[in-house]
Structure 1
């Protein structure tokens, strides 16, 4: 008696079909979870604003019309200004006007060769060479330097900005009874500038910080007498309110 040959099934094994169906269901499940976890940022912000700016049950059964938010008069409500759209522009305009006023003063008084006024991300930066304010190796304000500090004081009274004053020296060592090193000299010069402004103008001491950098931050190499002179300087920074380096105050 001949045995019947077992007919083999064609195609994939049955277990593989079941396994594929299971994987498909799991994939669909995770897609649903992901879709439910994604938040519409615009609608979320609109809802948050509706709770801040109106009573939920005042005029609409819904907290807010997502498609076209309206104000209480039925007019389309504008979104708040984005960062840098308007408020930051006002800061920029104020700082630019301040810079222009300082530069005009320098030109009128022929001080542009010894005092520079620029602007960077910190704010308006005034750089005064040593000879403008101090005698060599001293930290007392010269009478000639008081005119510019008077202008700075007048400007600072009119604005609320924080002020940072930096003292810088060249690399030539100093060792005197009052100033054992360039650290003490640079710190004393920064403090003298602040003390003069506080003594002569109604300014809050909390707005100021004095920093002495000694010889550690030269603007040019200390290789010639001219470069040494440039590195001996005081820097007054009228800080931009939006600036924060984490270490200034």
Structure 2
């Protein structure tokens, strides 16, 4: 009688190669953990980068948002070069500019349509509508060229930024070119800037045009004289020390 050959029992659990593979993965994981543990995060540099998004001074005065590890005199010299003109020098230049403009206005009998004053914003020129534009239009009149040429010449001597604001009275306008006073006031401010820039070849980055429509009157819109006062363009040669609110 033949004996039955017993079948070999099948091994249980994972195959042997899986053990080796698991060991390999574990070693790789440990290797990367060691690399990470040996690395260090420079807190100073991290905070400098984070602060750069909140404090624009870092971008304005440092060539890099990360502080120099070995400070030298060179970065300080660069910062001095990038610093704007001193407040005393800027004040003298604005005072002289105001005097030149007022002298020009008196000599040419323009004081009735152009007013030049000094405020905390800088030198402010208030030009009445009739000194610059025809009613309801935004094309600079030829009669305004000499005065704007004078303003452009004075601006070419100083680096100050210039803001030009257009204002209207509260009477509505609804033409094809200007559906409302917003478009008219903005177009007038832009026309003044465009003329000055083209005439004196000034840097456009120094200028900003704003149209306020009838939202900032200087007199009640109840009489013909007051309506005329509100139709104006204001040219502000800004004081570097002034911060727009």
TM-score by length of 1: 0.63
The CA distance in 2 between the partners of 1:125 and 1:187, in whole Å, is: 18
- The match for 2:225 is 226
Paired residues for 1:1-249 under 5 Å: 87-245=86-244
What is the Cα deviation at residue 130 of structure 1? 0.1
Partner of 1:23: none
Aligned partner of residue 110 in structure 1, secondary structure: coil
Which structure 1 segments of 5+ residues have no match? 1-50, 54-85
Q: Give deviations 1:134-177, integer Å, cap 9, x for gaps.
A: 00000000011111100001011111010000000000000000
Q: CA deviation at 1:199?
A: 1.4
SS state at 1:199 partner: helix
3-state SS of 1:227 partner? helix
How far 1:91 sits from its partner (Å)?
2.2
Deviations 1:169-217 (Å, cap 9, x if unpaired)?
A: 0000000000000000000000000111111112001000000000000
Please give the alpha-carbon distance, in whole angstroms, between the structure 1 residues aligned to 2:86 and 2:209.
29
Structure 1 runs (4+) greater than 6 angstroms displaced: none
Distance in 1 (CA, whole Å) between partners of 2:141 and 2:104 is: 19
Query: How large is the Cα RMSD of the aligned pairs?
Result: 1.6
Secondary structure of 1:214's counterpart equals coil
TM-score by length of 2: 0.65
- Kindly tell me the number of residue pairs found equivalent between the two proteins: 164
Deviation at 1:110, TM superposition (A): 0.4
Offset, 1:241: 1.4
The superposition leaves residues 194-249 of structure 1 with CA deviations (integer Å, 9 ceiling, x where unpaired) of 11111111200100000000000000000000000000001100011111215xxx
Q: SS at the partner of 2:212?
A: strand
Q: Please state how far the C-alpha of 1:92 moved relative to its aligned partner.
A: 1.8
CA distance in 1 between counterparts of 2:141 and 2:184 reads 15
Structure 2: gaps spanning 5 or more residues: 1-70, 74-84
User: d(CA) in 1 for partners of 2:171 and 2:86?
Assistant: 46
